[in-house]
Amino acid sequence: MLVGILMVLMAIWGYFSRTEVNPITGEKQRVSLTTEEEVALGVKSAPQMAAEFGGLHPDQQVQQTVKRIGQSIVQRSDASRSPYTFNFHVLADANTVNAFAIPGGQIFITMGLLKRLKTEDQLAGVLGHEIGHVIGRHSAEQMAKQQLMQGLAGAATVALSDPNSPTGTAYISQYVASLLNLKYGRDDELESDEFGVKYMLQTGYDPNALLDVMKVLEEASGGQRGVEFMSTHPSPANRNQRIREAIAKYKAGT
Q: What is the DSSP letter of 79?
A: G
Residues of the chain short of pLDDT 70, as ranges, are 1-18, 30, 32, 144-184, 223-237, 254
pLDDT, position 16: 52
117 contacts 126 by C-beta, under 8 angstroms: yes
107 contacts 45 by C-beta, under 8 angstroms: no
pLDDT, position 184: 43
Cα distance between residue 176 and residue 153, in whole Å: 8
CB half-sphere exposure, 33, CA atoms < 13 A: 20
Give CA separation, 81 vs 25, 107, 175, 193, 201, in Å. Answer: 10, 17, 39, 19, 17
Q: What is the DSSP letter of 21?
A: E
Beta strand residue intervals within 33-148, DSSP E: 87-91, 99-102, 106-110
pTM value is 0.77
pLDDT, position 179: 37
pLDDT, position 118: 96
> Tens digits of per-residue pLDDT, 17-37?
567 777 777 788 767 678 888
CB half-sphere exposure, 30, CA atoms < 13 A: 15
> Tens digits of per-residue pLDDT, 79-111?
999 999 999 999 999 999 989 888 889 999 999
68 contacts 179 by C-beta, under 8 angstroms: no
pLDDT, position 138: 84
Give CA separation, 163 vs 7, 158, 201, 223, in Å. Answer: 19, 10, 59, 44
pLDDT, position 41: 79
CB atoms within 10 A of CB 56: 19
80 contacts 74 by C-beta, under 8 angstroms: yes
